Amino acid sequence: MPATGAKPLGAEDEVSAARSVQQMFNSIAPRYDLLNHVLSANIDRLWWWRTARRFRSVLARPNAAVLDICCGTGDMTMALLRRRPSGARPILAADFAHGMLSRGALKFGGRGAVALEADALHLPLRPASLDLIVTAFGFRNLANYEAGLREFHRVLKPGGQLGILDFSEPGGLIGKAYAVYFRRVLPAIGRLICGKEGPYSYLPSSVGSFPPPPSMLALMRSVGYEQCSWKPYTFGIAGLYTARRPE
């Protein structure tokens, strides 16, 4: 049976799963950026840049309403801001982990983005109010994937676009080699730098249980999105899902 949402160890339902994820990211917030860059060998910067470039036509519109949800410490927000014209409407950068969001605000504060502490499954936004929603490596952590897609659909304008950047599991020899790194080496490095066992053991398990691209695309279509596609990045280690709310 396909996964319906993130299930951290010990979580019994969606409420406890969300609480566990929130606590986990708050606990690693001080070292999150360092760990990301070390563990990805800085390739994550390329992934953010490519994602922002994919939506450059929307970002170039000064009045476009843009949300970076599950923004974490703000690196995706910063990549989006580089595509915004001077004096453009501020980007909303939202996360429900206060520790992560507060560090993100130090990066993008005063640069054209506004921090918003909010849950991706219950956005404090009007229906049909956004032109673009982007999320980078956060969607996989939602307690309910379908509910998240429906909430994004609710707040997108007709014709609004969605981008979900997240990890995947590549196939072939590269996939086998990466699996060894991802399941054994990465948790050990994360534990060494972070001093915590749970968060970087959760990461590979969360990727392993995340719907593969065909299932994810089918779910997006079932919710009501059109023009759904997936673009693999770096041999399929990560990839960008894109979709559009119909006019």
Identity at 18, one-letter amino acid code: A
Q: How confident is the model over 198-209, as a mean pLDDT?
A: 76
Please state the rounded mean pLDDT for residues 199-214: 82
Question: At 228, is the secondary structure helix, strand, or coil?
Answer: strand
Quick check: is 41 in a domain?
yes
Answer whether residue 185 is part of any domain.
no
Is 174 a domain residue? Answer: no
- C-beta atoms surrounding 9 within 10 Å: 9
Q: What residue numbers bound the domain in which 36 lies? A: 14-169+211-244
Q: Rounded distance, CA 163 to CA 165, Å?
A: 6
pLDDT band at 1 (very low <50, low <70, confident <90, very high): very low
Tokens of 25: 């990211």
pLDDT tens for 145-196 read 999 999 999 999 999 999 999 988 888 887 788 778 777 777 777 777 666 6
pLDDT of residue 2: 58
Instruction: Provide the b/e sequence for 105-138 (b: ≥16 CB within 10 Å).
Output: bebbeeebbebbebbbbebebeeeebbbbbbbbb
The C-alpha atoms of residue 14 and residue 120 are separated, in whole angstroms, by 13
Per DSSP, 88 falls in state: P
- pLDDT, position 196: 64
pLDDT value at residue 39: 66
Q: Report the half-sphere exposure of 29 (CA within 13 A, side-chain side).
A: 22
CA-CA distances (angstroms) from residue 153 to 147, 181, 221, 246?
10, 36, 11, 10
Decide if 5 is inside a domain. Answer: no
* Positive or negative torsion for Cα 202, 9, 240, 45: negative
Task: Collapse the DSSP code of 201 into the 3-class scheme (helix H, G, I; strand E, B; otherwise coil) and give the result.
Answer: helix
Q: Is residue 103 part of a domain?
A: yes
The residue whose two tokens read 């843009």 is: 66
Domain with residue 233: its CATH number is 3.40.50.150
Kindly state the average pLDDT of the residues 125-138.
Answer: 97
Give yes or no for residue 118 having a pLDDT over 90: yes
Would residue 199 count as lying in a domain? no
Percent of the chain with pLDDT over 70: 95
Q: How confident is the model over 54-105, as pLDDT tens digits?
A: 999 999 999 999 999 999 999 999 999 999 999 999 999 999 999 999 999 9
Q: Where are the beta strands (DSSP E) in the chain?
A: 66-69, 91-95, 113-117, 130-136, 156-167, 226-233, 238-244
Q: Which two tokens stand for residue 76?
A: 């995706």
Q: Looking at the domain assignment, is residue 144 inside a domain?
A: yes
Give the number of domains in the chain: 1
- Domain for residue 59, yes or no? yes
| Count of residues making up the chain | 247
User: How many CA atoms lie within 13 Å of 44's alpha carbon, on the beta-carbon side?
Assistant: 19
